[in-house]
Structure formats: C-alpha cells, structure tokens
Structure 1
Amino acid sequence: MKVQKCDSGEERLDDSDESTDEDKLMRDDLDDAEKLIFDFEAYPMNDSDKEGLINLLTQAFLKIFFHLRISEFNPKFIFSETNKIKVVRKEEYHEITGSLLQIFLRADVDVKQMADILVEQSPFGCVYRPAEEFLDDDDEGIVYGALSMLELGRDQKFQTDIWTLLKTKAQKYSIDKKILSILDNLSTADSDIRVGLLINERLLHFPTTIASPAFKSLAVDLKKSGAQYRFSHIVLILKIRIADSDINNEQGRASASNAAKNGKKLTKAQKKRIAANAIANAKVIYDNQEEELLFRGDLQFNFFQYPVQSDVEKDSKFGSVVLKGVIYRPYRRVCFLDNNTFHRYIELISSIEKL
C-alpha cells in the first residue's frame, strides 16, 4: 500500500557522483550461499562489542546465510531455551561501533561515541551472539546484530554529526522542501521535542525471524525505562537497494532529449524530478526485511533517501548487486516517525510470525 506524506524522489543526479561502472557490480547468487545451523543469544552489550558494532555499520562483512532453529520464547528469550536477549556489556564496545558504521559508511559521524553511550545505557538494548554451546575461539567478541536507541539531541558530537549529514543529503537529494523543514525543526533546541534514533543493525542476510522477539524485548525495555526513552519523534535510517529500470531510465532520457531539442538546459530541480520519476515504481530490497512493513500498511510519515554507492568499496556485498539480471544500487532511506507511529511499528513487527 502507498505510504502517505512521503518524499519518494531522490536519485543519482550526477554521473560523477555515483559511478555505474560494471566492475563495481557483484552477482548476488543467494541460492548458493552457505547455510549454517546454530542457535543465537542476545547478550548484554559491553566494551568488547564496540568494534563489532562499528564493523556492522561499515557493512564490511562477507555474505553468509544463517538458518536458526526457533522454539518458544518470551520477552528476552529467542531462538531456543538457551538463547536469551541480554543487555549490553562493556566488553562489547568494539563490536557495537562496527555495527554503527553499516549505516554511516564513510560519513564523518563519531560512531565510537555512539558505541560508548549504547554500552552505558545497559541494560537497555541488546546484541546478538551465538549461544554458548555453539561458540568457538573465532567467535570471541563477534556481534551479529544489535537493537537499541539513542537520543538524537544537539549537545554530543555524534548528534551534530548526524544532523549535519542528514541535512546535507536532504539538501542534495530530497525533492520535497518540507524534508529540510522537518530536519530544521527536529534539530533545533525545543523543550517539546525529543528525538530518538533507532539502532537496528545485524549482519547481511541474518535471519529476519529475530526481529519479532527482539522488538518485543525493546517494547519491554521502553516500558520499564519510563520517560528516559520517551521520544516525541524517532528517526530510522534504513539500508535499501533500488532497482534500475530500463523503462524508467528511457523515460528520463526522453525528457532530457526533449529539453535539448527545445534548446533548454535542465535545471537541478528538473533533474531531481526526472530522477524521482525514474525510481518511483522501482523495486526496493530492504537489508532488514521487517522494515518493509513500514510501507505496507497505513502508517503515515515522511521520508527521503540518498545514494551511497560512492561510499562503498566496489567489491563489497553492500554495494551494487545484480539479481536476475537487474542492477540494485545501495541507498539510505531516512524516515521520520512520531511516537504513536513508532509504537505501532513496534507492535506490527512484534506480531509478525513470519516475514
């Protein structure tokens, strides 16, 4: 279903900004991916997780599929009787910082400070690690995912870094002027506005089945924490890939050709609109599949998106890929939810048995 109040147009506007060289593309043959069968626990975050969280957010991991055995669970328990969602521990500091770079890639954002705060917030939030009986020496300190929240105020360096990044990207790629107004309003000191940032990161192709129990656990944490994590608005930064469309690309080229015939040069605004039309109906792949639920129901919110292909190594699994002959290019989709919409989103994910 169509999401209302959304900004659906932003794309690559300049060939110099986003390369389309074929050597940057990878064949993503998911059917042949290795499958491993073992259980996972969600542990408390600690200092040793910080590097792993940084690595997750850099999206530097190789593709691998995990097939998990799932049994009954209660809030804080997932994937088997032995697998518990636990709070963040200091030892997980390095793993946490790795996760954060998956979102921000090469952007100038202080993810180490973010990881510090995530650990300090323990027992709020959790990280995913193999169950103890499946651990080996190579798994020491590895974090496979994390779910938590951070306040996105204006006093900390990482906070100003993120606001600067989002405003810069919106200025360049958003065709809806209200997006910049939203960013200005949310980032301006106001006692009535408290903004939270959702951290929902895990390894590429990690089973989506972890989402439901993890978000149930987050709901419990939010309820227990009272006003500490009661935000009026929540920012979500989704990792997506958008398919190229020959038909839409032809339409865009036709528009440019018509302008050239009329002796007119396309303005930046016109280029943005052409790019927006080219991707309006394009297929989207969500790295975290549960995030697609935001756009299936009647949730109303604003969002914009921006390309990140130039920020990803050409041989990275987080760059452009080819699926069934179609090129999918990496983007970040930034969503702005109010408190009620965010809690409806949590309830929606928590209630889904299978995605």
Structure 2
Amino acid sequence: MSNKRNKDNVQQDSESEEEHDSGSEKDSDFDSDGNYIGDKELQADFEGRNPEDCDFHGIKQLLRQLFLKSNVDLGALAEIIISQNYIGSVVKQCLDNEQGDDDDDDDGSDGVFGITTIINITKRKDEKCIQQIRELLTTLAEENAIDSTKVLIKKILSDDSSHVGLVINERILNIPAAISAPLFSSLQTELEKAVKKNMPYTFQYLVWICKTYSMGDQATEMLYANQEEQPIANEALCSFDVDVTEQADLSQWDYEGGSMTPFRRVVIFEGSKFNNLVRLIKEEVSV
C-alpha cells in the first residue's frame, strides 16, 4: 500500500539554543502530555501516512488526549484504527533517506503527531471498546444534553439500520491547522473508494468529539483546540458540552484574558453533510 504524503511546515518563534542548554530548562519546554510549549524555533515537514502496527503507542497517546480518563480501552481502539488502515491517516515527520538509514532500529512508535479517521461504531458495536464509547456517549448526553439531544443520541445508537461514524481528529498542540485540509481530503477520497467496494462506510450520522476551552466563568464562546473544527458547528443537528476539568492534568490554562477551562463538545451531524464539512475545514485553514 502506497503511503500518502500530505506535507506541511511547522514554525515557532525562535530563541537561541544557549538559553535551552540545561536539562531542567529543556524539560520545562514540554507540558504534562509531552507537547512542546517552548518558544525555540522548530522546523519540520510532516506527511499523512496509512496507520501501521508501529504507530500503536503513538495513536494510543493521542487518543488519551481526547478521551482523558474515560472508561475506554484506548489500546483496543488504536488496534481498530490500524486494522482499517485503508481509512484515515497518521501524521508523521518526513525523514530523508540518510536519516531513515540511521534510524533502522526505531520502530516509529513515538513519531505519531496526529490521527484523522472515522470508525463505524454501529458495525463494530459488539467490540468492547466500541461498547464503552457508545455507553460513554449515552452517559455524557444524559448528564449534559437537553432532552431533544438525549432522544436523538438514544435513537441513533439503538437503530442498527442507521450507521454512525465516530470522527477522530487529534494531533499534538503545535502541529498547524493547515495540515487538516489534505488529511480530510484524503479521508474523503478513501471513504468514496470504500463505499464503491460496498464497504460499511456510508453513514447516516457522524459523531465528532471536539476539544474546547471556556474562557472565563461567564464566557459563552468556546475556543476550539483544533481551529478547523470551529466553523463546522453550525452544520450540526445538535451538540452539548462536557466539563472535563476533573479529568485533565491541567484544569485551567492561563491566557492574556484570564484562564481557560477544558471541555469536550460532542457534535452530531447528518452523514450526508460530510463533504460540506470538509469544504468548510478547507476554507477555515486556507492561507
């Protein structure tokens, strides 16, 4: 299977290397999830590739960023993503041939910077980790959604004739949103090919869990961790927000206007809207 190559550059404000010589200073450049938060200049090329076995640990770590401490077997979920590697992409750093030769012993497990894919949680409803996700969605809706949204979620999860796709769009903090455009274009093409082969990727509904942050106690506006997800909210059938402060390692992040409290926004779309969602994503991140 040929690899997909969707490249983008990452650049951050520069700072001299001398200011980062000590181990303690280097450690402080990374948050508790291992994301780089320093201001030293980094330049790298990234590409989208088909998920492989060696990506297991990297994918699992990214899933942990999204699901936090929820009761979901993330290892089993990572295995599903790899097993359907004809759908979706992992983001990895481009390496030249010389560097690749030097790293023959590296299995690449620490080199996954993002994952974009869709899982059919209706077709796979008997698998334990998918059962856990379905139970999680039901519980979160019961605790946080309005009555009409609760009814819709119960309906789409109980009707096996209507296939539901779980969209997973996760990456580390410093990968730019622009990379989402080629990743979703590739996903769009892969889904079309799969449907032509009569594979179960025609979805009546899509579930999308977005990482968001509330800015201040009285804030009504949510900041999206993934910029490209913000414009698609208007296309939703319904959505609801879940405060994950107690699950997050950092309950609040400081910013110029105060602090940000972490949330998850669960969004439900009609499956027929997917192509339009991809169009909106491309428009949002276009330079």
Q: Within 2, Cα distance between the matches of 1:289 and 1:67?
A: 20
Q: Within 1, Cα distance between the matches of 2:284 and 2:144?
A: 33
1:222 alignment counterpart: 191
1:342 to 270, 274, 277: 274
* Kept after mapping to 1: 8 A contact 2:215/2:258: yes
1:183 deviation in Å?
Answer: 1.6
1:105 alignment counterpart: 68
| Corresponding residue pairs, total | 247
Q: 1:160 to 1:242 in 2, by over 3 A?
A: same
1:328 to 252, 260, 263: 260
1:268 alignment counterpart: none
* Kept after mapping to 2: 8 A contact 1:61/1:204: no
* Kept after mapping to 2: 8 A contact 1:125/1:147: yes
Within-5 A mapping of 1:1-355: 60-64=33-37, 84-133=47-96, 140-141=108-109, 142-153=111-122, 154-174=125-145, 176-191=146-161, 193-226=162-195, 227-245=199-217, 248=218, 279=219, 282-295=220-233, 299-313=235-249, 316=250, 319-352=251-284, 354=286
Q: Within 2, Cα distance between the matches of 1:214 and 1:125?
A: 8
1:140 deviation in Å?
Answer: 3.8
SS at match of 1:228: coil
Q: Within 2, Cα distance between the matches of 1:218 and 1:112?
A: 22
Q: Aligned-residue CA RMSD in angstroms?
A: 2.5
1:34 deviation in Å?
Answer: 5.6
- Percent sequence identity is 26
Deviations 1:279-311 (A, max 9, x none): 4xx23211111001113xx52420001100100
1:237 deviation in Å?
Answer: 0.1
1:91 deviation in Å?
Answer: 1.4
Deviations 1:37-86 (A, max 9, x none): xxxxxxxxxxxxxxxxxxxxxx82234378667xxxxxxxxx6xxx6432
Gaps of 5+ in 1: 1-32, 37-58, 70-78, 249-278
Q: 1:194 to 1:123 in 2, by over 3 A?
A: same
Which has the higher mean CA deviation after the structures are superposed, 337-346 or 134-143? Answer: 134-143
Q: Within 2, Cα distance between the matches of 1:203 and 1:225?
A: 28
Which has the higher mean CA deviation after the structures are superposed, 211-220 or 232-241? Answer: 211-220
What TM-score comes out, normalization by structure 1 length? 0.64
For CA contacts below 8 A with separation 6 or more, give which structure has more relative contact order: 1
1:172 deviation in Å?
Answer: 1.8
Question: What amino acid is aligned across from residue 213 of structure 2 in structure 1?
Answer: R
Q: Within 2, Cα distance between the matches of 1:215 and 1:350?
A: 9
1:261 alignment counterpart: none
SS at match of 2:165: strand
Q: Within 1, Cα distance between the matches of 2:83 and 2:142?
A: 34
Q: Within 1, Cα distance between the matches of 2:176 and 2:236?
A: 27
Q: Within 1, Cα distance between the matches of 2:14 and 2:108?
A: 21
* Kept after mapping to 1: 8 A contact 2:232/2:281: no
1:118 deviation in Å?
Answer: 0.8
1:252 alignment counterpart: none
Q: Within 1, Cα distance between the matches of 2:271 and 2:85?
A: 22
* Kept after mapping to 2: 8 A contact 1:150/1:197: yes
Higher Cα radius of gyration:
1
